[in-house]
Structure 1
Amino acid sequence: MTPSVDSAPVPPRGRRVQQTIASLRDRILRGEWPVGGRIPTEPQLVTALGVGRNTVREAVRALVHAGVLECRQGSGTYVVSTDELAPVVARRITDDQRAELRMAEVVEVRRAFEVEAARLAARRRTPEDLAALDGALAAREAAWHGGRVAEFVEADAALHTAVVAAAHNGMLAELYASVGTALRSTIARTMGDELAPERYVDHGRLVDAIRAGDPARAAREAGAFLEPPPGG
């Protein structure tokens, strides 16, 4: 049977794979498949995406190679990162013998991101952003007063992430997400094995500055606890 003249052309195989990779990545970025969660099975993906098994297999393999997905024998395929940059940053932190130098670099990068994020957040925060910041700050304080180190590290990272989200800059948020592992590493290293009083940093003033809509004060508060040591 002769196909109709208005039939949609079938894209070349290479392009189908690239389109499938883009579709998978988009679903990950939108949070449909969160980090730590398992993606649908291969047959389910074939049905959902409307492509063949080989195309799905190649797309998944590409994202595994990029460090976004991880195949676990007998369990399935899981999301381990939201983008390709995060594993690269993580490897620089964990694999390099000059760990202390790398940590100093992470703090410098954090300062570049977080100071500008705080400045923007003070201008653009919404009532929903302020509620998220208050919730993250309360969780951070509760973890600190409870002496729960691992929980505090996660809560502190969540607060900084909430500040970046309140900046309403998509590219900044994506770049910041890529240093998530490094962020937690610097917080954990600063805290050590216990939450000593001398290591406590008040982030309430940062949240207050954002709430007040004061960009200069918000930037100052965000940068104060990330200042390099004298001579650094």
Structure 2
Amino acid sequence: MSAVPLATTRRAGLVDQVIEQMRTAIANAEWKVGERIPTEPELVTALGVGRNTVREAVRALSHAGLLEVRQGDGTFVRATSEFSGAVRRLAGTELRDVLQVRRTLEVEGARLAASSRTDAELAELTTLLDARERAMEAKDYEVGVDKDAAFHLAVVRCSHNQLLAELYQGLTEVVRASVASTVRTTPSKANVDHRQLLNAIRDQDADRAASEAAGFLDELLANLDTP
């Protein structure tokens, strides 16, 4: 894997500067969740610092939950923020807990979105949902899951409540990983219809939007108990 071009560091605070540049590369999706980051020699060359500086930065970001060091395999992006990394550590593989919290955030997010969304935001939601449905119908599940996650995050962002959106974004990575697994094994259970949720937001019907958001998440929770 080729090194991601990063700005050359200066003398003072090298470790902190490297940490910040690596964090920025992750936040801007130059290094995506699940992907291996450049090797240690590649980072040394790209950043113009010593191996010890790179190792300290990787160690700090691993402790924060953004990176995961896999012995013999490399270092991989685990989360896009410290908050998301903490959520992944707490959630583990217990999807039920994550979905229950997600339900709390998404129901209120959908309610506020119906009242606050702009025409441009509605167009974005429509585009994302159309792309999701096309991908699912084509059995392109990787793209389908990506568009699904983007759609739900966009709904919450339409609430225009930044704190709610930040809290929700911290859940999306662990939820996406779990939903991706479900899609691969039982796609019929994961491919929930979101068209009525979009219609409720379009009609600016806050109660209906909240009900639709609760309904499909309740269905996902119920599916956990269904073989």
Q: What TM-score results when the alignment is normalised by the length of structure 2?
A: 0.68
Percent identity between the aligned chains? 44
Structure 1 residue corresponding to 2:109, chosen from 113, 117, 120: 117
1:64 equivalent to 2:62? Answer: yes
Q: Residues 67 and 79 of structure 2 are in contact (CA less than 8 Å); yes or no, is this contact kept in structure 1?
A: yes
Q: Tell me the alpha carbon deviations over residues 72-125 of structure 1, each in whole angstroms, 9 at most, x when there is no partner.
A: 899986644211233443345556xxxxxx222121111011111112222332
Please list every run of 5 or more consecutive structure 1 residues that lacks an aligned counterpart in the other structure: 1-9, 96-101
Task: Say which of 199, 207, 226 aligns to 1:216.
Answer: 207
Matches within 5 A, 1:139-158: 139-158=131-150
* 1:166 aligned onto 2:158: yes
1:123-138 equivalences under 5 Å are 123-138=115-130
Alpha-carbon separation, structure 1, partners of 2:190 and 2:69 = 39
Aligned partner of 1:3 in structure 2 is none
User: How far, CA to CA, are the matches of 1:75 and 1:42 in structure 2?
Assistant: 18
- Distance in 2 separating the partners of 1:37 and 1:123: 41
Provide the rounded CA distance (Å) in 2 between the counterparts of 1:44 and 1:109: 40
- Structure 1 residues 118-160: Cα deviation after superposition (integer angstroms, max 9, x where no partner): 1222233233322321121112211222234444333322221
Letter in 1 for 2:61: L
CA–CA separation in structure 2 for the residues paired with 1:185 and 1:33: 17
How far apart are the structure 2 equivalents of 1:199 and 1:139?
A: 16
Q: State the distance in 2 between where 1:23 and 1:66 align.
A: 15
Aligned-partner Cα distance in 1 for 2:180–2:131:
17
Larger Rg: 1
Q: Deviations over 1:14-55 (max 9, x none)?
A: xx85576456545643556554484783465469xxxx9866
Counterpart position of 2:43:
41
SS of the residue aligned with 2:175?
A: helix
Which AA in structure 1 matches 2:168?
Answer: Y
Q: CA 1:189–1:45 in 2, change beyond 3 Å: closer, same or farther?
A: closer
* Partner Cα separation in structure 1 for residue 210 and residue 145 of structure 2: 22
Deviation, structure 1 residue 203:
0.6
Count of aligned pairs between the two proteins: 207
Q: Secondary structure at the match of 1:152?
A: helix
Is the deviation greater in 144-153 or in 154-163?
A: 144-153
- Answer yes or no: is the 8 Å Cα contact 2:200–2:206 preserved in 1: yes
Q: Could you list the runs of 5+ residues in structure 2 that have no partner in the other structure? A: 1-10
CA–CA separation in structure 2 for the residues paired with 1:172 and 1:69: 25
Is 1:105 paired with 2:97?
yes
Q: Would you say the 8 A contact 1:107–1:186 is kept in 2?
A: no
Match of residue 205, structure 1, among 170, 192, 196:
196
